[in-house]
Structure 1
């Protein structure tokens, strides 16, 4: 598909300066000035223990002197879109400027007319499969779906998806969030279906639903969702989470309780997340500046320090910006890591959202 050069318009006072294809050096000065005039950025669903966002937010504030208003740090992707819709026409503190959502939710938000186009300076280093050609959404990082296990409760960690059906794990297995709206849970169900041998797309979604129905019927699936707190308390001793979550939790817990982060042996999936700017952003220039920051070398390495895989990983590795010693904390994935195609994810997400309650019915608050 031919890439279109998009033009964003930056207003500083009464001047209007054209900014094609992201901001270049002199245009960055204008963008910074316009963002500072707005004075604030409103983000949503950026937990401080998620992919290094505590340091990234602080780095952005330190670098540009803007206030960052943080909404609903534990919100799921569907909730982020709902928040944009609920605040159309509201320029107050409850209207998000930017969203960070599971990849499947980028096209959904675009279809619903919730986004505006903007291409960052490093646009060419974002893989084509992880971005909208017109710049309405674009991948920022990805995680590797893993089992996070509380070793005080579980003496032998599961090695693969089928192991979760073991009677030894009765009342022990949980999803991380509501699978009708949360990307990490949608991909948990989808990965289980792929591991069962189903074809990508709707077939894998339904196979994954069947697997979780078996977990429920066996008594292994818990009705609640696995948060850092519930994992620490032993209330959800086995939960699917991104590898970065498990490693971060283990560091924060300092061995109390001890945790395992296990990459499923047969197959697991990469979960790509995406950034986008709300069409109704009260602070559109601050939003664009935030995007430039996140997709710069500094921002991408910030994700890596937060134990997530930056979307520019391949290009930065090739250019020597990511060295071997930066990867020591990340678990090895071998050859079992699958990057699902976007069309399959959209299809699977629709099936899981529609059929989760009727097929499984557990853990859906």
Structure 2
């Protein structure tokens, strides 16, 4: 195969042309190589003037593009508070966590670098981290976060937590009648009164990991014999508990119960052991088009102000610096990386027990 060259045959003019083209190509390659770590250097900067530099440059950028799975009732107050504080617009796109990760990964693979920050559940953040979409960042508020919720690679940071526990209808079930551990729900009196969310495989994996396979699988085999009402969606399961159609939901997020409870609905939540905890968090794109605004937004979310806002909305914050009653119990913190690696195994077990029965 004959090779072609952009340099013509040697002559004085062609030599000058070749030298110019070589220099231009070298500059282009250098720019390409340097573009990638530019944001990473910014993200890790710790100088004394960091905060002012961030603010000044973020205001020049004018906007931060955020993809999130936060509900509008939560993302709205959060982004409005940031905009009011810093005068920087948040361009928000919201969907469920799976679609958030799908869009982010698809765009990154296609070389469309549109997003600055992604806020969603840890397992989907982990999927994106494995695609090398995120870059590690420094924030003075990271020191306040729960160490158990921080991933080993530090490619994203936890900003809130989800706790899976028991929701019950307060008109149908008395709190004192609820068992202290999940094994108590194997009592025949609970048959026909309990429900599960159809996709809560992490609950199965977490309990088996905590109790050991023998005890854990004995419980789940017994629970399958109770034939719980399996429904798709935590919101639906929560609504069914409120209506009394499903008096007790065994796998309900504490944050799902808070809005109804605060509005006077007959629902409450209790930390039946073991409580399975999952981190949710924020990651910053390596190729973010507005990196200063992205980092400033992450600072805000992880700050006592942002974390306090999460708490006020019924979302357990990841910061130890924010006093909250939303997580004052023992829990088992799941590792999103392990969840991903073992998901196929536990999905087969879950489906055999509760779906394909």
TM-score, scaled to structure 2: 0.71
Change (3 A) 1:236 1:82: farther
Q: Report the count of equivalent residues.
A: 314
Counterpart pick for 1:47 among 62, 67, 71: 71
CA distance in structure 2 between the partners assigned to 1:267 and 1:216 by the alignment: 18
Counterpart pick for 1:28 among 32, 51, 54: 51
1:62 is paired with a residue of what secondary structure? helix
Q: Is the 8 A contact 2:224 2:353 kept in 1?
A: no
Once the two structures are superposed, the pairs formed by residues 6-155 of structure 1 within 5 Å of their partners are 9=38, 19=42, 21-22=44-45, 24=47, 26-36=49-59, 37-48=61-72, 53-73=75-95, 75-76=96-97, 78-88=98-108, 89=110, 96-132=115-151, 135-154=154-173
Give the superposition deviation at 1:147.
0.8
CA distance in structure 2 between the partners assigned to 1:342 and 1:70 by the alignment: 25
2:232 is paired with a residue of what secondary structure? strand
Map of 2:350 onto structure 1 = 356
CA distance in structure 2 between the partners assigned to 1:353 and 1:278 by the alignment: 30
The structure with more radius of gyration: 2
CA distance in structure 2 between the partners assigned to 1:127 and 1:47 by the alignment: 23
Which blocks of at least 5 consecutive residues in structure 1 are unaligned?
1-6, 11-16, 180-184, 317-321
Structure 1 range deviating more: 30-39 or 136-145:
30-39
Map of 2:271 onto structure 1 = 263
Question: Cα deviations across residues 270-298 of structure 1 (Å, max 9, x unaligned)?
Answer: 32223212345454433222111112222
The CA RMSD over aligned residues, in Å, is: 3.7
Change (3 A) 1:308 1:235: same
Once the two structures are superposed, the pairs formed by residues 139-288 of structure 1 within 5 Å of their partners are 139-154=158-173, 158-159=178-179, 160-167=181-188, 168-170=190-192, 172-175=194-197, 179=199, 185-194=200-209, 197-198=211-212, 207=216, 214-227=222-235, 228-239=238-249, 240-252=251-263, 254=264, 256=265, 258-264=266-272, 266-279=273-286, 281-288=288-295
CA distance in structure 1 between the partners assigned to 2:94 and 2:239 by the alignment: 17
1:360 is paired with a residue of what secondary structure? helix
Change (3 A) 1:311 1:190: same
Give the superposition deviation at 1:68.
2.7
Q: Is the 8 A contact 1:106 1:276 kept in 2?
A: yes
Question: Cα deviations across residues 200-256 of structure 1 (Å, max 9, x unaligned)?
Answer: xxx89xx46x7556545533232333305444444554332333332333003x2x3
Q: Is the 8 A contact 1:145 1:268 kept in 2?
A: yes
CA distance in structure 2 between the partners assigned to 1:23 and 1:248 by the alignment: 39
Greater share of helix: 2
Change (3 A) 1:81 1:221: same
Which blocks of at least 5 consecutive residues in structure 2 are unaligned?
1-35
